[in-house]
Structure formats: structure tokens, C-alpha cells
Structure 1
Amino acid sequence: MEDFFEGIEQVEARFNGGVGEMPVFWKDSRAFGAILPASWLKLKRVLPDARMAPAQIFPGVGGVVLAAYEYADSSIGPYNEFSVGILLNSPLHIGVPGYNLLRQYLDGFLCAYIYHLPVTTEVALRAGKDYYGFPKFVADIDFSDTHDSIRCDLSHNGERIVTMSGRKLPGRNMGEMTIMGNLYQYRTPQYAEIKADVIEGAIAPGPGNFDYEVFRSHPVGRDTAELILAPRAIGYLYIAKLQAVLYGPERLQPPLLKHVLATAKVLPG
């Protein structure tokens, strides 16, 4: 499993919450989530820059991705994360409804805007916000398991945001894929490339495999619920074993460059 990280040099980085290494290595992780049908017009309105175009699954229907991650071993310590993402068109292909997303899937190169990204530790918060502009905040993200299902409960200051559960599907080695995370930092687009090695995972239709509830009482839950068109998920992903690298950030604006130079040093080989 360590071969996946061979040849990637890391630097030590200091955050307000502690010390870590970048690029971030996620060496022992698992995840699950689903694609939900969303209003394409509403997705377009919440994106912060015209260069970000929401992908269309069908004409007028985009996709919101709810995903939960459990990082048991990472370069910034163990933590959990919950992502609310918006599927984007890849600039590599024409933006025809259905076609662009299909090409992304076949290429193993997916584009998404990170709308909300709560985490469970201060180090994960500072690493994401200070370097990349990830929309992070510290929350409670609790995983629980039965023999054949996995569940995640997201809450903040005692207030529920999302509860979701999925089936533990029989998996296979799905190989490597790349996710281009689109962000917004210093009022301009920022990008973070994630290269993932899915050691054991499975993709299936959403109905019958995935259930969720979004609570409108919390602002993040309300933001998310207002985008969703229908309660049933289109597709479901269960990853029992995952390792990945978070590269970037790709655009070094002067304030970010100053911060990087002040906080990072090359680790001895």
C-alpha cells in the first residue's frame, strides 16, 4: 500500500492547531456517499465564479454529492470529514447534458465544487482553510456500523445537519482516479487535485442502497436541502479501503505564497 506514495516529497507545515505534512497523505481511509438530483439553475446561482459550470445529469438537472470520510491515518492526524459537493463540467469535454459526466467517469477524472466541508479537528480545519480556502468548520461527524451497513451523523453545536446510511457492498479494486476540487480563495478560483487509489469499492444505484435526511434547522442543512430536487439518490458509492494524496494548492496568490514560505520546510529524506 505504501507504493502509491512513492516519489512524492512532503514538507512540514505548521498550523495554528499543530503540525502536519503536505501534500497530505491519507494512508488508511474509508468513505461512502451518493449523488442527489439538484436544480441546475440553483446550482449555477451558488457557484462563486462564472468559470465554474455545473454539470447536467439530464437537461436542467445537476448533481449534489454528499460524502463522508473517515481518515484513520493521515499526514495531519486522524480525523473525519463530510463533504457537500457540486458536480461541475470538465473543461476537457463539451458540456452536453449527460455526456460530460460520462466522460469524466470513464476517464477517472472528476470535477466538483466544494460547497461545505466540515471536519472534526482543528489541524484539519487550519490546513484546509489557510492553504486552500476549503469551506471548513469544526463539527461532530460520527460513524457507526452494523454487519451490513454504515452510518454517518453530522451535527454542529448539538444541532443535526445530515444523517445518512448506506449498504456495505461487496467491493473490488477500482484503481486510481483523480478529483479536481474547485474552490474560491481571495475572490478567485483555486484548485486542489486529489489522486485516490480505491483499493476496495463499489458503485450502485442509490435507491435501496442509500438513505439520508437533511435538517433545514441548520444553515448548512438548509443550503443543501434547497438545492435538492428529489429525495432519492441517483447513485451510491461505498469505499471500504482508500488511500489518497491531496496536492496543491495550485494557484499561489501573494498572500498564500507568503503564508507557505513562513510555515513550511522540506522534510529530511
Structure 2
Amino acid sequence: MSFLLNPAWADGPSQTRQTESTTISIAGHDVPVVKGGLYDRYRSNPPLSVIASEAPDVDLSWFKGLKKEKVDIGFESYSPNFYYKNSRVTVIFTADLNKLRELMPAQVLEKVQPLQVWPGRGLVALTAYAYDYCDNDSYNEIGLSVITNRPGSSSFGPLTLMSQAMSNDFWGYVLKLPVNTELARVRGVIGYNLPKWLTGINYHETDNSIVVEILDSQTGKIDVTLETKKLANLSSKVSMVTNSFTNIDQQGKLTTGHATSRQLSHASSTSSEAVSLILTEGSLSTFIKSLDLGKMVKYEYVPEFQSALYSPRPL
């Protein structure tokens, strides 16, 4: 598990290389980070001139229009957090509606509800992220979220889903969010109130597919494998997407946070043949099985996007 303790710069989704680490303190936690990396030097506030020098192939025009602000999120940081070069795949499945409600705190359910797409069935989104170059160095992340309505608005099931899709403004409640660096875990748990834990996540490409392997944090064995096809009908038309979440902070108060993504290359499919999800007896697999996944509703292939993650605020 040594690679978990020595965060690595990613040369791309398919490979990483070992680098020397150093230890810093975040909210009283000793956290290993890449020595001389972006976070070690700038603590989430690197000048764009540095990014332009280190990654001359990255288009920074969007980030130039965004203003960072110093925030206290349990430790001093800056919002939004910038993700300069990334890729992701997302698969949306139907799931047991009652089970989804059981997994959401009553306090959250007072404000948002899982979207019911037909009787007894809700939706979950399983997303694998490869953050190749960002303010937090580089890391991989897996998100499993319940798709909900917007707080304070009525839920009309499929109509609400269509409305969110048309506006590219999605809402959810995050169930699971494993990451493969301690820096991402500590920042996410303390600063964003997210259910993160540290484990191995391998995100690599073949000629025709993206293969993501999630290890069980206790056994080190492969827990979940997600393999998705690289879609051919890629659009290079820039698409702006907002993903917001509702959760509870360290003081038990409702909060909301969001990320805005600038999708530079993207495609989608409704063919179940584009996705293979292999579950084992591991802890995450067991949890996913409990959701009673059904029909795959949509697959999104986004090989190139940028993102700005904003710190949470009271709901």
C-alpha cells in the first residue's frame, strides 16, 4: 500500500510515477503530499502563471475569469478549487427507491428527495474521476450518488430529471466517495463533509475502453471493476455542467456545495453494451448490491474536462 502513502503525479489516466513526499499538517492531521508539488507550494492557490509554465498545453482561459477567495473550511483554503486537466466516466442506474431513502439522513430528506423515475425506482450515478492536474496535485476518485431534486423545489420524478438534464444543473446526495490520496481524503472529509476514505483506485485506458479498478481498503484485493467503452461520437462543443450536493457538516447543520465543470470533449450512450460493472464480495461491492441496481439509463464518456469546486455553505 506504499503508493497510497506517497502521492504520485499522473502523467495521464493510464500511468503514474512515484515522487518524493513530504508531510504537512491540515486541521491537526499529518498528511503526506508531493514534495514540491502544487499543494506543497501553494496550498490551493497557485498563480495561473505557474500552471501555464508547468502545463503549457492546458487552456486556462476559463480559470482567468474565476476569482478565488480565502475560506475557513476547518482549515484555511481557497475557493473554488481548480481542476485543470481531468477525465471521467459516469454510469446512471435505476435503484431501489426505499433503500435510497433509508441511506439518506432524515434531516436531508426534509429538503431533498431521491428522484422517482417510476414506481419504486430511483437513480444513482457511479462516476470514476481521474484528476490528472489540479490544485491538490493528482488523484483518482469514485463517486456514488443518489440523484435528487433541488432543495426547496418540488420533485416531479422524470420531469424533474429532464429539467436538470436540459439545464445541465444536477443535484444529488453523495453516498460513497473513495479516493487514492490522503490529501484528497482529509480535505474532503473535513472541508466538504464528504464520505471519503483512502484506498487504491486504478484508472487506465486500453485502445477501446476505460478500465477502473477499486480496491478494498481492508484486504487490498480488487473490489469493484468498471469497464466502459470509448465512444466514437465525441463532441468538442464546450458544455458547462453544474453538480450540487446536500449534506450535513461537522456541527450537524445542513450544507450545500457544488462543482462547475467545463466539458471540452464528451459523448454519451444509452446502450448497456457500453458498460461492464463487475462486483465481488468486497465492502463497496456489497454496498452497491444492496441498492438493487437495475436498468442502465445513461453512460457519459468525458475524456477531457476542467472543473471548479466551491466550498460548502449553509443550506
When the two structures are superposed, what TM-score results if normalisation uses the length of structure 2? 0.73
Q: Could you tell me which amino acid in structure 2 is paired with residue 209 of structure 1?
A: A
Cα distance between partner residues in 1 of 2:90 and 2:152:
25
Cross-structure match for 1:163: 225
**Which residue does the alignment assign to 2:43?**
none
In the other structure, the counterpart of 2:244 is: 180
Select 2:288's aligned residue among 224, 233, 240.
224
Inter-partner Cα distance in structure 2 for 1:66 and 1:142: 15
For the structure 1 residues 14 and 155, does the alpha-carbon distance in structure 2 shift closer, same or farther, using more than 3 Å as the test?
farther
- Structure 1 distance, partners of 2:190, 2:159, is 35
CA distance in 2, matches of 1:226, 1:55: 18
Partner of 1:239: 302
Secondary structure of 1:2's partner?
coil
Tell me by how many angstroms 1:13 deviates. Answer: 8.0
Does 2:208 match 1:148?
A: yes
Q: Relative to 1, partners in 2 of residues 1:93 and 1:145: Cα closer, same or farther, differing over 3 Å?
A: same
> 2:279 is matched with which residue?
214
Is the deviation greater in 42-51 or in 156-165?
Answer: 156-165
Percentage of pairs with the same residue: 23
Equivalent residue for 1:109? 169
Corresponding residue number in structure 1 for 2:312:
249
- Which residue number corresponds to residue 263 of structure 1? none
Structure 2 Cα separation of the partners of residues 19 and 243 of structure 1: 23
Instruction: Report the AA paired with residue 240 of structure 1.
Output: P
Whether the 8 Å CA contact 2:112–2:152 is kept in 1: the answer is no
Bigger relative contact order (CA 8 A; separation at least 6): 1
Q: CA deviation at 1:19?
A: 9.5
Q: Secondary structure at the match of 1:69?
A: strand
| CA distance in structure 2 between the aligned counterparts of 1:192 and 1:225, rounded to whole angstroms | 28
TM-score normalised per structure 1: 0.85
Q: Which residue of 2 aligns with 1:129?
A: 189
Aligned to 1:166, the other structure's residue is in SS state strand
| 1:259 paired residue number | none
Change in 2 beyond 3 A, CA 1:160/1:142: same
Task: Flag the 1:195–1:145 CA change in 2: closer, same or farther, 3 A.
Answer: same
| C-alpha displacement of 1:12 | 6.8
Say whether 1:194 aligns with 2:259.
Answer: yes
Comparing 177-186 with 193-202, greater Cα deviation is found at 177-186
Q: 2:73·2:311 contact (CA, 8 Å) conserved in 1? A: no
Q: Deviations over 1:32-63 (max 9, x none)?
A: 02011101111111111222300122232111
| Corresponding residue for residue 90 of structure 2 | 33
RMSD: 2.3
